[in-house]
Amino acid sequence: MAIFGAVATQNPKGTRDFLPKDERVQQYIFSKWRETCLAFGYEPYEGPTFEHLELYTEKSGEEIVDQLYAFQDKSGRAIALRPEMTPTLARIVAAQGHSLPKPVKWFSMPRLFRYERAQKGRLREFFQLNMDILGSESLDAEVDLLLAICALMRNFGFKPTDFRVGISNRRLLNALLEQLGVENRDAVYAALDRRAKIGEEAFGELLAEAGMAPEARKALNDAMGCATLDELAPHCTSEAAKAALEELRYLLDRMASLGHGESVGLDLNIVRGLAYYTGPVFEVFDAAKSMRAIAGGGRYDDLCAKLGGERTTGVGFGMGDVVLKDLLEERGLLPDVSRDRLDYWLVSFGNDVEPLFRMAETLRARGRRVGHPLELRKFAKQMQEADRSGAAKVLMLGSDRVPEGCVEVKDLVAGTQSAVPVDRL
Ligand code: HAM
């Protein structure tokens, strides 16, 4: 009798099992992530999968704290599984202090944990590419990261019009709320975050609940409805708002002049749930916004200092594997990786496996990836197994149809068969 009953074979809600066929797809995603990061000169780093609970309760903002997997360890320490990488990264950089030459451009592909409500595109355990630059005040750090996002999407096979990188600025939102004398900023941010989803009327109601007067509500809604910076400019009366507007102009102009105007644009509805952002923020969606965000990030200039380090500016983004994979599947952009596993699969007309081990060893010594049966069955069965093996080519040992020193090779992709000298394999 099974000890746990039906639960024994079922994975926890919001988690995934990766069978080799799924893991091959996963490895394809990781390899594109890594390749792109290395092409941009980012260096890999890692951290622990669990951290002190306070690292998140103090710095990440309410939404993430509600979703923490937290527990007490055997010594009574409050611990949480990491829901995001940014606090860990800031902690590592803060701990290094002056000894670390700045700026650093680092990337990581952590496994993260969030107790999310089950919904499409959101899981409780997922992977997230993180690319971050710490120690650069320049808006060109944002440019570097936005270019990397465009390169990632291109390398996965998306066209520039298939996705949209929307940019806003926390500093601009702050300045607008300051201009309007808004006191209850958190409630207004929460309303702004939902504005695109709930429509103008419900948005107005939330602002009223947050204590905003009718004129201020109208002014904020009008500003948020602007589609271009020129439309927005008259709404920016304070020096702070004007300066923040210019930051956005710089980023949009730069991305357009670098040839990415089709993919990158202003989107004032982007607020970002995380509490630590201090400047430009951005999110990536499929062009029709039919799915949840593919990636999101922004500038966080105070996080290292808040962790007790010296002031080190930061900017970066996270791109999850879940929405990305859904989108790649939907668009037919996942390559057939089923034949990438092995160079050769060996089969035999004889009845002894030793020649197979011997041939496999010879080929592996030449850097080839080789598999073969461990028990010899009928030839037709061996060929079925060869087809399932994921090898591109089958070597048939012991065939009397080929000259001495040769082996019969069947190419499973091209469907051809030929005799090849062993030393040419
Ligand atoms: P985030 O917006 O919370 O930002 O997550 C970024 C991306 O991670 C999302 O756009 C989505 O693709 C993916 N993601 C988030 N939650 C889930 C989930 N439950 N299931 C599947 N995918 C998910 C951050 O995490 C920031 N720390 C990013 C950052 C890096 N900011 C600066 N540097």
Among 308, 338, 368, the domain-final residue is 338
Asked if residue 332 and residue 407 are part of one domain, the reply reads no
Q: Is the pLDDT of residue 58 over 80?
A: no
- How far apart are alpha carbons 262 and 82 in whole angstroms? 35
**Ligand 1 centre distance from Cα of residue 130 (Å):** 9
Nearest Cα residue to atom 25 of ligand 1: 84
Confidence of residue 118 (pLDDT cuts 50, 70, 90): confident
131 DSSP assignment: E
For 385, the domain range is 344-424
Q: Is the pLDDT of residue 24 over 80?
A: yes
**Ligand 1 centre distance from Cα of residue 355 (Å):** 52
Instruction: Establish if 205 belongs to a structural domain.
Output: no
Q: Is the dihedral of CA 109, 114, 117, 118 positive or negative?
A: positive
Among 289, 312, 338, the domain-final residue is 338
Instruction: Establish if 232 belongs to a structural domain.
Output: no
**Ligand 1 centre distance from Cα of residue 126 (Å):** 10
Asked if residue 314 and residue 364 are part of one domain, the reply reads no
What is the CATH number for 378?
3.40.50.800
Instruction: Establish if 365 belongs to a structural domain.
Output: yes
Q: Is the pLDDT of residue 2 over 60?
A: no
pLDDT in tens, 264-301: 999 998 988 778 999 999 999 999 999 999 999 999 99
User: Which DSSP string corresponds to 283-344?
Assistant: EEEETT--SS-SEEEEE-SSHHHHTTS----EEEEEEEHHHHHHHHHHTT-----TT-SEEE
Q: What are the structure tokens assigned to 156, written together? A: 């996965």
Q: What integer is the mean pLDDT of 184-199? A: 86
Residue position matching structure tokens 């500093």: 171
Among 62, 128, 165, 193, the mutation site with the greatest number of ligand 1 atoms within 8 A of its Cβ is 128
Instruction: Establish if 217 belongs to a structural domain.
Output: no
Which long-range contacts does 232-235 make (Cβ < 8 Å, 24+ apart)? 232/266, 232/268, 235/176
Nearest Cα residue to atom 1 of ligand 1: 296
**Ligand 1 centre distance from Cα of residue 78 (Å):** 23
Asked if residue 395 and residue 330 are part of one domain, the reply reads no
Confidence of residue 3 (pLDDT cuts 50, 70, 90): low
Asked if residue 129 and residue 27 are part of one domain, the reply reads yes
Residues with CB under 6 A from ligand 1: 84, 86, 114, 116, 122-123, 126, 128, 130, 132, 274, 293-298, 316-320, 322-323
What is the CATH number for 328?
3.30.930.10
- Dihedral of CA atoms 110, 115, 117, 118 in degrees, nearest 10, equals 60
Asked if residue 113 and residue 22 are part of one domain, the reply reads yes
pLDDT in tens, 335-383: 988 777 899 999 999 989 999 999 999 999 999 999 999 999 999 999 9
Nearest Cα residue to atom 29 of ligand 1: 317
Q: Is the pLDDT of residue 77 over 90?
A: yes
Among 312, 338, 364, the domain-final residue is 338
